[in-house]
Amino acid sequence: MMMKRTSDFDTVGVRSFYDDTAATYARMMDREIDLPMYRTLLARLHERIAGLDGDLVDTSCGSGQMLAMYHREFEPERFLVAADLSEEMVVLAGERLPESAQRIVADMRDLGAVDEGSAAGVLSFFALHHLPEDQLQETFAGWARLLVENGLLMLATWEGTGLVDYGEEADITAYRYTQADIERHLKAAGFRIERSVVAPVEGLPMDGVYIDASVRREHTTT
């Protein structure tokens, strides 16, 4: 899959930021993964994809806690694919995931290393804010390519308008999107919205938008 309009995404800056903060991020997520939110989300994912063949792909896996929890508590037999732009994050994810899991250093906009139609589920949690809006639809279409028929994308990102303020932590640009904007781009990329809610994020002054969306491919008959 060819990537377009990459000039608005500071690939080097974002990668460098997460490489530099990977260890701190991992420690934070080791604590945060025990919040009820994650178990609830992953339980819903398990219920939804339990009858589907295919892998579980995390498009921006960070230090791997979500995939590790899913493997440990819900489906130890499902094959996991952990992708992240940051090599340091992928290394840390590997420490938490089973040896059988595939680990890929890759841009979430270009997951060509993952086979088409190989995933029952795709995850994207709080990474989409790094993309400018004109890259959302193409990115979503790439994720749709990975999913089997009726496979599920489970997505979370910062809800609202304007930029995310990193303060003095980083000199990178990050965007907030409204629930309606995310839904619109998902539908244009071929997804059907199954669930969409906006909810506060514990300990932060921003809301998150949480969306489950599925792929239904058109079938032709002869």
- 41-69 confidence digits (pLDDT tens): 999 999 999 999 999 999 999 999 999 99
pLDDT band of 166, cuts 50, 70, 90: low
3-state secondary structure 75-143: CCCCCEEEEECCHHHHHHHHHHCCCCCEEEECCCCCCCCCCCCCEEEEEEECCHHHCCHHHHHHHHHHH
Task: Decide if pLDDT at 35 tops 60.
Answer: yes
User: Average per-residue pLDDT in the chain?
Assistant: 91
**Burial label, 3 (beta-carbon count in 10 A; 0-12, 13-18, 19+):** middle
| Cα 158 to Cα 175: distance, rounded to the nearest angstrom | 8
Which has more confidence, 142 or 201? 142
Q: By mean pLDDT, which of 8-17, 89-98, 160-169 is the weakest?
A: 160-169
166-170, 175-179, 187-191, 206-210: the lowest-pLDDT one: 166-170
For 89-148, what is each residue's pLDDT tens digit? 999 999 999 999 999 999 999 999 999 999 999 999 999 999 999 999 999 999 999 999
Copy the structure tokens of residue 16: 């460098």
Give the number of residues written for the chain.
222
Q: Are 189 and 24 in contact (CB under 8 A)?
A: no
Sheet containing 55-58: order of strands: 102-105, 80-84, 55-58, 119-125, 147-158, 207-215, 191-200
CB–CB of 105/84 below 8 Å? yes
Residue 76 above 60 pLDDT? yes
Q: Which residues pair with 159 in a beta bridge?
A: 177
| pLDDT class of 201 with cuts at 50, 70, 90 | confident
- The pTM for the full model equals 0.92
Q: Do the Cβ atoms of 176 and 164 come closer than 8 Å?
A: yes
Res 202: pLDDT: 77
Tally Cβ neighbours within 10 Å of residue 114.
21
Nearest in space to 215 (alpha carbons), one of 149, 118, 155: 149
Q: In this predicted structure, what is the pLDDT of residue 168?
A: 64
What is the pLDDT at residue 10?
81
pLDDT bucket at 218, cuts 50 / 70 / 90: low
Rounded CA gap, 138 and 20, in Å? 28
